[in-house]
Amino acid sequence: MFEVNPEAQLRIYTKPMDLRKGARGLLVIIQTQIKANLWNGDLFVFFNRQCSLVKIIFWDGTGFMVCTKRLLRGRFANLFQDIEGNTIHLTPEQMRILLSGARPKKILSAQK
């Protein structure tokens, strides 16, 4: 089992990715595009163009963990259209709802 730092931020990359990339390819994106600290435990979330696949990468203290989820039916909500910048931040509750395959309205209403 692994633990996620409770103070970690959930940083979603807003550009669609070719998720054939492994950990090294995603780390390059984090360093060059997001310009973020790889080592503080933040979770970096990447979606493919079809929003059917998500990869999450983070430092767990001993190495980088890469988690992948593909929905059997449907797509993840695309919250990233018309977003300026490379990343958006979600709360853990919003991320849980997003990964369940819920619609954008439900995810954004969890902000309250």
Global confidence as pTM:
0.85
Residue scoring higher pLDDT (6 or 70): 70
Model confidence at 107, pLDDT cuts 50, 70, 90, reads: low
**Can you give the pLDDT at residue 104?**
63
CB 27 within 8 A of CB 47: no
Give the pLDDT of residue 27: 95
Report the mean per-residue pLDDT for the chain: 85
